[in-house]
Amino acid sequence: MWGFADYAAGLCARRVGAVRTAFAMQTTGLVSFSLVVWLLGRWPTFEPGMVPFAIALGILGVISVAALYRGLALGPVAVVAPVVASYVVITVILVVIFLGERLSAAQMVAASVVFVGVVLTSTDARELRVTLGRPVPGVRIGLVATLGFGIWAAVFAIATRQFSWIPMIVLLRATSFVFVGSFIAARRIDLRVFRARTALVLGTIVGVLDTLANVFFALGVESGYASLAATGTGMYPIVPAVLGMLALGERIAPNQIVGIVVLVIGLVTLGAVS
């Protein structure tokens, strides 16, 4: 689901910019999720212990997304994307340390195959060859996004093990909305671009899909190993690659096709041994 959200975010950012896209994502995600929870009669109770997690997740999420957009803007994407995609390794390490999870040898092998598939799918070897030996300004900021996303996923897993995931998602969306909204207000960024129907629809889609991704990740953490649930999120590079090929006529590199195959094999194997 994060793959679809990232693809929609890319389309939205091209029209209205990264900051406005981030604001639309947090706003529509918060409103849509809160509305659904309320209509289903599942409005949660909030505990004081949730607040530090929500603040941490809000800060980490905003910084990570900003670093991701900045890193990709500096480029090249062929180098920055696989660096960012490696956040899964950080999450797994932190989950093993703080939640005490232990993976079997078969699970570790399957998870490693998934990671290899993620890197291959995220990398366009054609562009990578061109950039070899040259300074890559986007990598340093990409590493910030990698670290941020890795810690974010681990903190989210730890939080949803201690508290119900429904109030945690509401709170993390609320804190992210406050952080991005404060930046928008301080910089006096014009939001009237969302009067255009296309921009509003794209912004809404981004928020809904990204929130659904949080829901599915929470359910994965709740149902089993958080480390394996985090590893499974690594499949998101498949979606932008395939949609870019189908919708925009982009040509994906041969190594990305291999990466998709490897990633699928790894995920299927991971499911079989878990």
Contact residues for 176 (Cβ-Cβ < 8 A; gap 6+) = 26, 30, 57, 58, 61, 62
Q: Please give the Cα distance from 50 to 57 (Å, whole number).
A: 11
- Mind listing the pLDDT tens digit for each residue in 224-235? 777 777 776 766
pLDDT at 25 over 50: yes
User: The tokens 């950012």 sit on which residue?
Assistant: 13
Q: Please give the Cα distance from 256 to 108 (Å, whole number).
A: 23
Check residues 47 and 140 and name the one with the higher pLDDT.
47
Query: Strand, helix or coil at 131?
Result: helix
Terminal Cα distance for the chain, rounded: 21
Residue range 122-141: average pLDDT?
A: 60
Query: What is the residue-averaged pLDDT of the chain?
Result: 79
Number of domains in the chain: 1
Q: What's the pLDDT score for residue 135?
A: 47
Give the pLDDT band of residue 92 (cuts 50, 70, 90): confident
pTM, to two decimals: 0.80
- Mind listing the pLDDT tens digit for each residue in 26-51? 999 999 999 999 999 999 999 999 99
Contact residues for 216 (Cβ-Cβ < 8 A; gap 6+) = 1
Q: Are 204 and 28 in contact (CB under 8 A)?
A: yes
Tokens coding 63: 């910084």
For 71, the domain range is: 2-273
Q: Nearest CA to 237 among 86, 141, 122, 140?
A: 122
How far from the centroid of its chain's Cα atoms is residue 80's Cα? 15
Cα dihedral 193/64/183/11 (nearest 10)? 0
